[in-house]
Amino acid sequence: MARTVLCFGDSNTYGTVPGDEGRFPPEIRWPGVPARELGPGWRVVEEGLPGRTTVYEDPLAPHGRGADYLPVCLASHAPLDAVTIFLGTNDLKSRFAAGAYEIARGIGLLAETTLASGAGPGGRAPRALVLGLPRLGPIPREGFEGAEAKAERLPALLEQVATEAGAELLQLEELVSSSTLDGIHLDADGHAVVGAAVARRLAT
């Protein structure tokens, strides 16, 4: 029986094209890489939504609060062998006034939800893999004031919350940078790097 991984995230999992706001095709988006590299023994479920946050209500992005949708998503796709959580960029928006610790804690809460869900095979916990943010570039758009400084604090805080939750952590800032076109989205090469890193981790 094939194993299943759920890729839960925001526009970087959806595949938003930097500076263009179109969408990369499935073979370019990072979840497509483990779908190819892990072979027919794995099934990859893409759950990327532009604007999705961890725990924050955004009136400009309805239905985007990850904490609301994740439990439904876990139940509807069960049984799941693994869940990747790739969120936090939208939490950096200045309108939420969230500090680095609050953002990391929101990610940790989603990891805890995953591990407590019983959505794995036989009602067990699925494997939870948190993806840290890529290195952010200068962000030209309004609404992200102060984001770079908060993002610099996130890797150490994610180590803490992932350990507390019992989740795995893959630090993307060590591997890849966001596009210089908008500072927050992965380009095609970035998607390839993230997808390959996730495939390697899932294979272990």
- Pairing mode of beta strands 127-131, 168-170: parallel
Please say whether the beta carbons of 147 and 100 come within 8 A.
no
Model confidence at 198, pLDDT cuts 50, 70, 90, reads: very high
Structure tokens at 29: 């988006």
Mean pLDDT of 38-63: 94
Query: What's the pLDDT at 140?
Result: 87
Q: Is the pLDDT of residue 1 over 80?
A: no
What letter represents residue 163's amino acid?
A: T
Question: Looking at the domain covering 3-202, what would its CATH class be?
Answer: alpha beta
Model confidence at 161, pLDDT cuts 50, 70, 90, reads: very high
Side-chain-side CA neighbours of residue 79 (13 Å): 11
Listed by start position, the domains of the chain span 3-202
Mean pLDDT of 83-107: 97
Model confidence at 66, pLDDT cuts 50, 70, 90, reads: very high
CA 8 to chain centre: 6
pLDDT per residue over 144-159, tens digit each?
A: 999 999 999 999 999 9
Query: What's the pLDDT at 201?
Result: 98
Structure tokens at 185: 């989205």
Please state, in angstroms and rounded to a whole number, the distance separating the CA atoms of residues 125 and 133.
24
